Chains A and B, each alone.
Chain A
Amino acid sequence: MKIWKLDRLQDLFAALAGERTLYIPADVAGQAKFTPWEPGMEMTKALNTNRSAKDLFFPQVEDLAAFKITGRQIQVEDNREDVEDFVIFGVRACDARSFSILDKVFLEEPADTYYKNRRDHATVMTLACSRPEATCFCTALGIDPQAPGGDVSCWVEGENLYLQANTQKGEALLEKLPAMEEGEKPQGDASVFDRLPLKDVDFSVFSEKALLHWFNSPVWEELSRSCLGCGSCTFVCPTCQCYDVKDFDTGTKVKRFRCWDSCMYSDFTMMAHGTNRPTQKERFRQRFMHKLVYYPNNHDGEIGCVGCGRCLRKCPISMNIVKVAKALKEGSV
């Protein structure tokens, strides 16, 4: 394990940024956000970013192609942005796990080349948590916030930052940095994780019963009743991956782009015959069934939630996956 003095953190950022673009969670307009590092930019004091780290691989809006029509000719332009190598520092364990959840969707054959391109060019440096929020429940999903994974894992302990490469990519990155002292990380105090109020939320029940049992549960009606149908939860969620493909007529050509979509919206997966989720109940159910039942059914029981707690903080009416999971288990609201 390598050691870097915390008071020289800016030097580490400078060394990383000399290599390639470096993103760190910094405060921008009052919000913690993964931002390209510039000299002097400090890391945020917030535990996690307002929006999730998926933005860097799966941005909200992305150009796919453009079509130019001249006479009878249609010219297709590949107008995707060039992606160069980049490194993200300070990804928490929950967001790091979200990458593997997204990978199973986007990298499965046929792979999504736009996503893959960004994944291939990225090196992920994670950061272990020591001061969780009360809304954190990653431990209930089998994530160890103190062993965050990624290409390089980092820990802050006392005066030092400890770095450990987990992959070849990570090793290659560390080799390019100035020589560092080797040493062992002292054992930190992890007792706070045992005090997390949501650590015991039970997500295992969803594999025990058939899909239709959950689908037909009587609790959906009541749970979804006050849902506003906004997309806050889906847009701050690190694992929500639905998108829509749209065309924009610029006047001289047609630009095809994709943008995040939300199952909470009335026009989600709208088809020629109309929508197949006519009320908010069905839309609401879709989101949680996807995370708790559909995704695990397709991916060896892995729950499509990482316990980052963003939706708990952001929902305008404070309805969230924890309340849903508990109500479903109890079978009543």
Chain B
Amino acid sequence: MPVNQEFKPTIVAFCCNWCSYAGADLSGTNRLQYPANVKIIRIPCSCRLNPMFVLRAFQRGADGVILCGCHPGDCHYTTGNYYARRRMTLLFSLLDYLGIEKERTRVEWVSAAEGAKFAATMNDFCQTIYNLGPNRRLEDLRCKSE
């Protein structure tokens, strides 16, 4: 990427079907603005997020990955997000241990009623990633070359 070209981060947001995906919908219906470079991938529950998905998102060009799910206690499947919480905590810690910027990954609980929170979270996360710059430590060079 030439230096003078402005960096537009690619964000992958994994959203649980029941809360956060509906929250994203709500923020759209309410015409709240959040950057278009957030790519939402709907998953049935936050605990469906295999660590492999996170890594492959980075491989395929993501600069930041965020997981959104129901608030703890509100999981449609009762306990899914509790497991997701442990898993992501450990995964993020391991990535940090490997020297990969810990700010590139985030978990946020967004309910179906929190359209405003969804938009605010995405705006904030995009700004964080913008400040960090492009993902270099977990990139696949083959996917970046033209």
Interface residues in chain A, defined as those with a beta carbon under 8 Å from any beta carbon in chain B: 248, 250-252, 255
A190 → chain B closest CB, angstroms: 49
Segment 26-80 of B: residues with Cβ below 8 Å from A: 60-61
Contacting residues, chain B, for A248 (C-beta < 8 A): 142
A252 to B143, CA, bound (A): 8
Assess the A251–B61 pair: CB atoms within 8 A.
yes
Q: Does B6 contact A (CB under 8 A)?
A: no
Assess the B146–A252 pair: CB atoms within 8 A.
yes
Contacting residues, chain A, for B142 (C-beta < 8 A): 248, 250, 255
Interface residues in chain B, defined as those with a beta carbon under 8 Å from any beta carbon in chain A: 60-61, 142-143, 145-146
Contacting residues, chain B, for A250 (C-beta < 8 A): 142-143, 145
B61 → chain A closest CB, angstroms: 7
Assess the B60–A251 pair: CB atoms within 8 A.
yes
Contacting residues, chain A, for B145 (C-beta < 8 A): 250
Please report whether the interface of chain B is mostly helix, strand, loop or mixed according to DSSP: loop
B42 → chain A closest CB, angstroms: 21
Contacting residues, chain B, for A252 (C-beta < 8 A): 146
Contacting residues, chain B, for A255 (C-beta < 8 A): 142
A255 to B20, CA, bound (A): 37
9 A-B pairs whose Cβ atoms sit less than 8 Å apart in the complex: A248-B142, A250-B142, A250-B143, A250-B145, A251-B60, A251-B61, A251-B143, A252-B146, A255-B142
B108 → chain A closest CB, angstroms: 27
Contacting residues, chain A, for B61 (C-beta < 8 A): 251
7 nearest A-B residue pairs (beta carbon): A250-B143, A250-B142, A251-B143, A255-B142, A248-B142, A251-B60, A252-B146
B18 → chain A closest CB, angstroms: 30
Contacting residues, chain B, for A251 (C-beta < 8 A): 60-61, 143
A255 to B142, CA, bound (A): 8
A27 → chain B closest CB, angstroms: 23
Contacting residues, chain A, for B146 (C-beta < 8 A): 252
**Which chain A residue lies CB-closest to B144?**
A250
Could you say which of B60, B61, B142, B143 has the most chain A C-beta atoms within 10 Å of its C-beta? B142
**Which chain A residue lies CB-closest to B60?**
A251
**Which chain A residue lies CB-closest to B140?**
A250
A250-B145, A251-B61 given; name 7 further pairs at CB < 8 Å: A248-B142, A250-B142, A250-B143, A251-B60, A251-B143, A252-B146, A255-B142
A144 to B143, CA, bound (A): 48
Could you say which of A250, A252, A255 has the most chain B C-beta atoms within 10 Å of its C-beta? A250
A332 to B60, CA, bound (A): 53
A251 to B139, CA, bound (A): 14
A255 to B141, CA, bound (A): 12
**Which chain B residue lies CB-closest to A68?**
B146
**Which chain B residue lies CB-closest to A63?**
B142
A250 to B146, CA, bound (A): 9
A248 to B61, CA, bound (A): 15
A248 to B59, CA, bound (A): 12
A323 to B60, CA, bound (A): 46
A92 to B42, CA, bound (A): 57
**Which chain A residue lies CB-closest to B141?**
A250
A252 to B145, CA, bound (A): 9
A255 to B143, CA, bound (A): 10
A238 to B60, CA, bound (A): 35
A139 → chain B closest CB, angstroms: 45
A251 to B60, CA, bound (A): 8
**Which chain A residue lies CB-closest to B61?**
A251
B57 → chain A closest CB, angstroms: 12
A251 to B57, CA, bound (A): 12
**Which chain A residue lies CB-closest to B145?**
A250
A212 to B109, CA, bound (A): 66
B52 → chain A closest CB, angstroms: 17
**Which chain B residue lies CB-closest to A257?**
B142
A250 to B143, CA, bound (A): 5
A256 → chain B closest CB, angstroms: 12
A252 to B60, CA, bound (A): 11
A252 to B146, CA, bound (A): 7
A248 to B144, CA, bound (A): 13
A250 to B61, CA, bound (A): 10
B140 → chain A closest CB, angstroms: 8
A247 → chain B closest CB, angstroms: 11
A65 → chain B closest CB, angstroms: 14
A13 to B133, CA, bound (A): 41
